[in-house]
A and B are shown apart, each in its own frame.
Chain A
Amino acid sequence: MSITYKAGKNPHPLEHRMIFRNIDREGWDPGIETYLGEGGYESLRKAMAMAPGEIQAQVKTAGVRGRGGAGFPAGVKWGFIPPNNTKPVYLICNADESEPGTFKDRYIMHQDPHQLIEGMVITAFAIGCHTAYIYIREEFPFAAKILEGAIEEARAKNFVGRNILGTGFDLEIHVHRGAGAYICGEETGLIESLEGKRPYPRIKPPYFPAAMGLYLCPTIVNNVETLCHVTHILKMGGEEYAKLGTPNNTGTRILCVSGDVQKPGYFEVQVGKVTMGQLINEMCGGLRTGRTLKAVIPGGSSAKVLRADETFKLKDREISIWDIPMDFDSLAACGSMAGSGGVIVIDDSRSIAWVLNNINAFYAHESCGQCTPCREGSLWMKKISDRIVAGKGSPDDVDTLESVAYRIDGRTICAFGEAASWPTESFIAKFRDELKAATSDSLKGAIVNPETKLAAASLKV
Chain B
Amino acid sequence: MPHQVPLEVEQEIDQRLTRYPDKRSALLPALHAIQGHFRYVPEDLVEWVAAKLELEAIQVMEVLTFYPSFRQKAPGRYHIRVCRTLSCAMAGSHGLMDALAEKAGIDRSHADHHHPICVSKDGRFSIEFAECLASCGTGPVCMVNDDLHEQVRPEDARKLLDRYS
Contact = CB atoms under 8 A, between A and B. Distances in A.
A215 B19 CA distance: 14
A342 B24 contact: no
A266 B138 CA distance: 11
A178 B53 CA distance: 18
Contacts of A131: 21
B2 interface: no
Interface stretch (A18-26, A38-46, A51-59, A361-369): A361-369
A358 B130 contact: no
Contact of B89 (A105, A194, A257, A458): A458
Contact of B113 (A140, A258, A259, A461): A461
Given A100-B85, A358-B89, A256 B136 contact: yes
A344 B146 CA distance: 26
Interface size on B, as a range, is 35 or more
A296 interface: no
A221 to B, nearest CB: 16
A427 B161 CA distance: 38
A98 B134 contact: yes
B132 A98 contact: yes
Interface in A351-382: 355, 358-359, 361-362, 365-366
Nearest to A369: B66
B25 A196 contact: yes
B86 interface: yes
Given A180-B68, A196-B63, A100 B111 contact: no
Interface string A251-263: 0000011111000
A103 interface: yes
Interface size on A, as a range, is 35 or more
Interface string B91-128: 00010010000000000100111001000000000000
Interface in B23-73: 24-29, 31-32, 53, 55, 59, 62-63, 66-70
18 contacts: A99-B132, A100-B86, A103-B136, A139-B134, A176-B28, A177-B32, A180-B69, A182-B131, A182-B132, A196-B24, A258-B90, A259-B87, A264-B138, A301-B85, A344-B86, A362-B85, A362-B131, A366-B131
Interface of B: 19-22, 24-29, 31-32, 53, 55, 59, 62-63, 66-70, 81, 84-87, 89-90, 94, 97, 108, 111-113, 116, 129-139, 143, 146
Interface of A: 88, 97-103, 105-106, 131, 137-142, 172, 174, 176-182, 193-199, 215, 256-260, 264-266, 301, 342, 344, 346, 350, 355, 358-359, 361-362, 365-366, 457-458, 460-461
